[in-house]
Amino acid sequence: MKEYKTITQIAGPLVFVSEVSDVGYNEIVEVLLPTGEKRMGQVLEAAKGTAVVQIFGPTAGINTTGTRVRFLGETMHLGVSPDMLGRSFDGLGRPRDGKPPVTAEKRLDVNGSALNPFMRDTPSDFIQTGISTIDGLNTLVRGQKLPIFTASGLPHSQLAVQIARQAKTVSKQKEPFAVVFAAVGITHEESSFFMREFQRSGALERAVLFLNLADDPSVERIITPRLALTTAEYLAYEKDMHVLVIITDMTNYCEALREIAAAREEVPGRRGYPGYMYTDLSSIYERAGRVKGKKGTVTQLGILSMPGDDITHPIPDLTGYITEGQIVLGRDLHRKNLYPPVDVLPCLSRLMNLGIGKERTREDHRGVADQLYAGYATGRDLRSLAAVVGQEALSETDRQYLAFADRFEQRFIKQGASEDRSIEQTLDLGWELLAGLPESELKRVKKEHIEKYGRKFRKDEKKAEKKEESSEKKEEKK
């Protein structure tokens, strides 16, 4: 082990060490302060004679005379073991619950390696979250990465907890599952909300928690999600568990990334975020999936606050390009006191088609989802028109669309914080709402599905039609 006392420059979270030799890129570093305190760091640049080290934690107290830097000769590793379940750790993986460190069964590089695309398997197991807007319209499947785009003041934490509590697959077999929770720069209050909820639902003993809170060093936030994902990969691919990873809040991660880039005086990209943020984020989000020959899966549910409610801000924008869809929460719905305030129009689940349909959910799922979407979009458009010209100026059909949009929000979007709807309930509810629209408008659903699933909700109409038909026939006879 090499130890140096040759720090020449300290700037922000970076320390420059000179006269070093045999230092590797990304190697882990221990910094020993004159006070005896120990901090961790990582080599960002290894050059002949010098190394640039990023310190996890504050640089306060580090000096150029008495501080020793120890290069550990390996990249960041995490000792993993099934005993981690039920434990909580800090942002660098040290126990936070006062219990002794876990005995590692294996030590894994936290940066992971890229999954060989050939070894991936198509995610196809439907996860029922019990939330209509997700199950019905933006279905989550095992192995997917589906973030929640939210904004300050919205109930994203409640939603995440509800998903974690209710998520199940339809298959009858009991399969081992686990939750890995990474708090990245959130407040104590939020973190204790999660803890309390996990405890209440009994999920805590199946959970591994990594907590970097708002007053913890921001540079640690670069590592925290990676620890969570390393643990998740281990539990999934070596212990056959279905792992749900919740990371909150990814915006804090990106802020930390920007902080380091600024300290290194790198050429900034959009809004000061580094140009490689896309690549960096993908090294987190892509660590989800289902792989060939393994039973376990890693499903990612990141929470990300959109600064200024702006979905085109670089953080949500780049995330949306990497993840397999997004669940977007809307302030307008929240103001209307609708929970969960899922603004369905900009939502998307790219893997939905793999998880729905016959034998997975129900054969009419795709059609119903599309029809509800189209109907709600039309209704929303008409609202602004009705505001200008008044409802009376609209056609009968348009008024039906307006009513549909209102009922859709009040009945389909809105549900209780512990209301767990089955997929059948969700789809039937969809048909019930669609019964408020004329049948000729239902172009997205197959005709046979209207008969099979939708007819029972449109009884009156059918009678009316028959009457009309018969009266027409009478006329013809005359």
Residues from 391 through 410 that contact other proteins (CB under 8 A): 393-395, 398
What dihedral do alpha carbons 457, 459, 464, 465 form, nearest 10°?
A: 80
- Please select the residue that binds other proteins; options are 95, 269, 307, 436, rule is CB under 8 A: 269
Between 96 and 444, name the residue whose CB sits nearer to other proteins. Answer: 444
By DSSP bridging, strand 148-150 and strand 177-186 are unpaired
| DSSP assignment of 227-269 | HHHHHHHHHHHTT--EEEEEEE-HHHHHHHHHHHHHHTTPPB-
Are 208 and 142 in contact by the 8 Å Cβ rule? The answer is: no
Does 87 bind other proteins (CB under 8 A)? Our answer is no
Give 11 or 417: the residue with its C-beta nearer to other proteins.
11
Nearest approach in angstroms of CB 222 to other proteins is 14
Say if residues 106 and 259 touch (Cβ distance below 8 Å). Answer: no
> Mask of contacts with other proteins, 321-360, x by CB under 8 A?
xx-xxx------------------xx-x-xx-xx------
Q: Which of 6, 10, 12, 26 binds other proteins (CB under 8 A)?
A: 26
Instruction: Find the part of the chain contacting other proteins (CB under 8 A) among 10-18, 94-102, 105-113, 332-340.
Output: 105-113
Q: Judged by CB under 8 A, which stretch of 148-156, 205-213, 380-388, 457-465 contacts other proteins?
A: 380-388
- Does 440 contact other proteins by CB under 8 A? yes
143 binds other proteins (CB under 8 A): yes
Q: How many residues bind other proteins (CB under 8 A)?
A: 88
Show contacts with other proteins in window 221-250 (CB under 8 A): 237
* Binding to other proteins in span 179-218, by CB under 8 A: none
Task: Give yes or no for residue 366 binding other proteins (CB under 8 A).
Answer: yes
**Token couple for 467:** 């009457």
Among positions 314, 330, 430, 454, the unique one binding other proteins when judged by CB under 8 A: 314
- Range in contact with other proteins (rule: CB under 8 A) among 189-197, 329-337, 384-392, 455-463: 384-392
Contacts of 165 (CB under 8 A, 6+ apart): 197, 201, 203
Closest approach of other proteins to the CB of residue 244, in Å: 17
Spatial contact of 415 and 340, defined as CB atoms under 8 Å apart: yes
- Residue indicated by tokens 């290894």: 46
Among residues 38, 99, 196, 270, which is the contact residue for other proteins, using CB under 8 A?
270
Asked if 304 and 254 touch (Cβ cutoff 8 Å), the reply is no
The stretch near other proteins (CB under 8 A) out of 57-65, 91-99, 273-281, 333-341 is 273-281
- Options 16, 193, 278, 339; binder of other proteins; rule CB under 8 A: 278
Q: What is the identity of the amino acid at 368?
A: V
Q: Which residues contact 431 (CB under 8 A, 6 or more apart)?
A: 368, 453, 454, 456, 457
3 is a site residue for other proteins (CB under 8 A): no
Nearer to other proteins, 191 or 319 (CB): 319
Q: How far is residue 364's CA from residue 370's CA, in Å, rounded to a whole number?
A: 10
Closest approach, Cβ 288 to other proteins, in A, equals 8
Question: Which residue from 27, 125, 364, 428 is in contact with other proteins, where contact means CB under 8 A?
Answer: 27
Q: Which of 28, 30, 31 is nearest to 46 (CA)?
A: 28
Instruction: Confirm or reject binding of residue 116 to other proteins (CB under 8 A).
Output: yes
d(CA 119, CA 98): 39
- Please write down the HEC assignment for all residues of 129-179: CCCHHHHHHCCEECCCECCEEECCCCCHHHHHHHHHHHCEECCCCCCCEEE
Task: Give the DSSP H or E segment for 20.
Answer: strand 14-20
Residue 283 beta carbon to other proteins: minimum distance, rounded to whole angstroms: 5
Q: What is the CA radius of gyration of the chain?
A: 27
Among positions 68, 331, 407, 444, the unique one binding other proteins when judged by CB under 8 A:
444
The answer to whether 21 contacts other proteins (rule: CB under 8 A) is: yes
Judged by beta carbon, residue 149 or residue 177, the one nearer other proteins is: 149
